[in-house]
């Protein structure tokens, strides 16, 4: 069994986390998995730990709701291949990124054709681990598909009702999300405030035009630099026009 010298990890304040909570599926033995689960939960993630016991049958794998998968095969390439085969049997292929936690020697022999996205060398730095998680989640959203709109650093995942800027999740209300999606999917088209009220709030909405202005202001604030793409057309309304 793989052994390493224990090195204290300098904890990271969860408020400094680069992105909000992800749901992680962790495949590892009981001892190593418990520590890794604790570290990941400390930096703000939800972790579902499936315990690996040699080549024995693994527990059932969740069919959905997982943002990222991590495997710690205790430096055994056979265990790693077994775990990946089990995942592929029970879940759609390439539905989310796969990270492997391993030692330097085993990393040299990883077979990336199995679907491995990245790896973390142990003993790991929690700060580096978090950066790699952020990159993996960003790459998942980077690939455009029918449910994803990506404009520069802004990614709108319409299947998840999720918005990210530079990989970080942006918390929006439903109306803010719908307003952003409507503008971004009609790039450069000018909408009057009345148009946006009808499209987002509905024809039976009796609020004033100022409702649109308030939501636009909040959107710009939450999106940071990406919010500059929402431009004002004086005397008319708004459009989404990235530089």
pLDDT digits (tens, 9 = 90+) for 108-132: 888 887 778 888 888 888 888 888 8
Do 39 and 55 form a contact (C-beta atoms < 8 A)? Answer: no
pLDDT in tens, 134-157: 877 776 655 555 678 888 889 898
Same domain assignment for residues 83 and 153: no
Whether 59 has a pLDDT exceeding 80, the answer reads: no
Same domain assignment for residues 173 and 235: yes
Residue found by looking up tokens 């069919």 in the block: 63
Same domain assignment for residues 132 and 171: no
User: How long a stretch of residues is the chain?
Assistant: 243
With H, G, I as helix, E, B as strand and everything else as coil, classify residue 189: coil
9 within a domain of the structure (yes/no): no
Tokens of 158: 């319409």
Domain boundary among 142, 167, 192: 142
Same domain assignment for residues 164 and 115: no
**First CA to last CA distance, the chain:** 55
Same domain assignment for residues 158 and 125: no
Whether 214 has a pLDDT exceeding 50, the answer reads: yes
1 within a domain of the structure (yes/no): no
Same domain assignment for residues 138 and 25: yes
Question: How many domains is the chain partitioned into structurally?
Answer: 2
Same domain assignment for residues 196 and 220: yes
Same domain assignment for residues 26 and 129: yes
Whether 97 has a pLDDT exceeding 60, the answer reads: yes
Same domain assignment for residues 162 and 127: no
Nearest Cα to 81, choosing from 48, 106, 49, 104? 106
CATH number for the domain including 50?
A: 3.40.50.2300
Parallel, antiparallel, or unpaired: how do β-strands 237-240 and 230-233 relate? Answer: antiparallel
- How confident is the model at residue 9, as a pLDDT? 31
CATH number for the domain including 156?
A: 1.10.10.10
> Which residue range is the domain that position 164 belongs to?
148-240
- How confident is the model at residue 16, as a pLDDT? 34
3 within a domain of the structure (yes/no): no
Q: How far is CA 31 from CA 37, 173, 209, in A?
A: 10, 40, 58
Mean pLDDT along residues 156-166 = 85
Same domain assignment for residues 155 and 98: no
Domain boundary among 110, 142, 174: 142
Highest mean pLDDT among 65-69, 95-99, 150-154: 150-154
Domain boundary among 84, 110, 142: 142
Same domain assignment for residues 111 and 164: no
Q: How confident is the model at residue 181 (pLDDT cuts 50, 70, 90)?
A: very high
5 within a domain of the structure (yes/no): no
Nearest Cα to 181, choosing from 205, 203, 199? 199
- How confident is the model at residue 8, as a pLDDT? 33
87 within a domain of the structure (yes/no): yes
């Amino acid at each position: 069994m793989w052994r390493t010298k224990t090195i204290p990890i300098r904890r990271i304040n969860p408020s400094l986390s680069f992105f909000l909570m992800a749901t992680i599926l962790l495949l590892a033995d009981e001892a190593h998995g418990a520590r890794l689960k604790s570290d990941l939960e400390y930096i703000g993630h939800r972790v579902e730990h499936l315990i690996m016991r040699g080549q024995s049958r693994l527990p059932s794998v969740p069919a959905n709701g997982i943002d990222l998968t991590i495997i710690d095969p205790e430096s055994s390439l056979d265990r790693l291949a077994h775990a990946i085969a089990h995942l592929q049997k029970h879940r759609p292929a390439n539905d989310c990124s796969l990270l492997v936690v391993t030692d330097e020697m085993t990393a040299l022999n990883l077979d990336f054709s199995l679907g491995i996205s990245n790896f973390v060398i142990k003993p790991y730095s929690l700060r580096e681990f978090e950066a790699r998680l952020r990159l993996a989640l960003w790459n998942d959203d980077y690939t455009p598909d029918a449910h994803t709109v990506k404009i520069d650093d802004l990614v709108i995942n319409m299947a998840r009702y999720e918005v990210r800027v530079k990989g970080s999740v942006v918390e929006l209300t439903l109306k803010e999300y719908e307003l952003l999606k409507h503008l971004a999917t009609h790039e450069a088209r000018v909408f009057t405030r009345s148009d946006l009220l009808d499209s987002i709030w509905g024809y039976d909405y009796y609020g004033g035009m100022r409702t649109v202005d308030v939501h636009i202001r909040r959107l710009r604030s939450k999106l940071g630099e990406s919010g500059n793409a929402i431009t004002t057309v004086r005397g008319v309304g708004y459009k989404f026009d990235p530089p």
